Amino acid sequence: MKACVIVFPGSNCDRDLQVALRNAMGSEPEMVWHGDSSFGEVDLITVPGGFSYGDYLRAGAMAAKSPVMREIISRAKKGVPVLGICNGFQVLTESGLLPGALMRNANLKYVCKDVHLKVEATDTPFTQGYGNGGVLRIPVAHHDGNYFADDGLLDELEDNNQIAFRYSDGDGDLTEDANPNGSRRNIAGILNQERNVLGMMPHPERLADPALGGTDGKAMFSGLVEALS
Amino acid sequence: MKAKIHVTLKQGVLDPQGKAVQHALGSLGFDGVEDVRQGKFIELELSETDPTKARASLEEMCKQLLANTVIENYSIEIA
């Protein structure tokens, strides 16, 4: 399996993602600079967290228009899996690869803590490592993670089973208290209709090694390797 | 020519920053502020001299980058 990590000016989780992918794949992912309009054939494209272009205009807005994104959009349309984490999720919504938008957290605060996630869809290469679902503990670290879509779109996402993760309590109950940012219907991660693009605010790459205090993120990467090798 | 663009959140989209500003105005003693919606103001200097062409180009700029039309409205003013 070959994977790449897209690096924008202001990305800061690119190396974490590189390590998580390296450990899962047993080989080195390609690091791709945002100004490059082409890169090698890969089985997985990842868009990391951070503050690309300093969040100018809107989080992810500038990165979504960078040369490398045109290539990513074209490959995503051909079915290549694309994973966007945190700022990567914002970039994917701004580029139109995923529906909806990520707004300022409802409490206006930067939220940096571990949250619980209920796995809502396991029939994708990104989530198949989670078997029958369950509840994960994964960190979030963001200021603009408040997922917004209108009621019609939310119903559509639910009908198509496009919601991959929701914020829950430790028992998997979708409570208001468990929602760290005001996201509508506790949404933490969504898929496109074709199910080859996933965007999520929490950081699985930050909890994919026992040395980091937990391994709940690891199954995402091992599942991807299994699905795409 | 100069163009002015206002980007505002659509009705129905919560504006927590606007709410915080409204609250702060209230605590400063400004009573009767019933709602605050915060937005962006963008000023552009264009080399185009034909207002119709400029407006068409500005529409595209708003749709493609300056506004996120999932959550925002925009208005264009050409001076």
Contact residues on chain B for A111, CB-CB shorter than 8 A: none
Provide mean pLDDT across the span A204-222.
Answer: 96
Q: Do A106 and B65 touch (CB under 8 A)?
A: no
Residue whose structure tokens are 């996402």? A157
The tens digit of pLDDT for each residue in A126-150 reads 999 999 889 999 999 999 999 999 9
The tens digit of pLDDT for each residue in A81-100 reads 999 999 999 999 999 999 99
The tens digit of pLDDT for each residue in B20-41 reads 999 999 999 999 999 999 999 9
Question: What is the rounded average pLDDT for all residues in chain A?
Answer: 97
What ipTM goes with this model?
0.87
Question: What is the rounded average pLDDT for all residues in chain B?
Answer: 95
Residue numbers of A between 160 and 189 with CB closer than 8 Å to B: 182
Burial class (CB in 10 A: 0-12, 13-18, 19+), A139: buried
pLDDT of residue A36: 87
Q: Do A150 and B20 touch (CB under 8 A)?
A: no
pLDDT of residue A35: 87
A93 touching chain B per CB within 8 A: yes
Å from A181 to nearest chain B CA? Answer: 11
Question: Which member of B12, B16, B64 has the closest CB to residue A108?
Answer: B16
Count of domains observed in chain B:
1
Task: Please report, for chain A, the start and end positions of each structural domain, with discontinuous segments joined by +.
Answer: 3-228
Given A86, A94, A116, A120, the catalytic residue: A86
pLDDT of residue A132: 84
**pLDDT confidence bin for A54, thresholds 50/70/90:** very high
The tens digit of pLDDT for each residue in A163-181 reads 999 999 999 999 999 999 9
pLDDT of residue A3: 98
Closest-CA residue of chain B to A105: B16
DSSP designation for A28: P
CATH number for B48: 3.30.1280.10
The hierarchical CATH code for the domain A3-228 is 3.40.50.880
Closest-CA residue of chain A to B68: A94
Å from A67 to nearest chain B CA? Answer: 14
Provide mean pLDDT across the span A63-68.
Answer: 94
- Residue B65 CB: number of other CB atoms within 10 A? 15
B72: containing domain: 2-78
Total-model pTM: 0.95
Burial class (CB in 10 A: 0-12, 13-18, 19+), B79: exposed
pLDDT of residue A37: 83
Q: Which distant-in-sequence residues (6+ apart) come within 8 Å of A126 by Cβ?
A: A81, A83, A164, A191, A198, A220, A223, A224
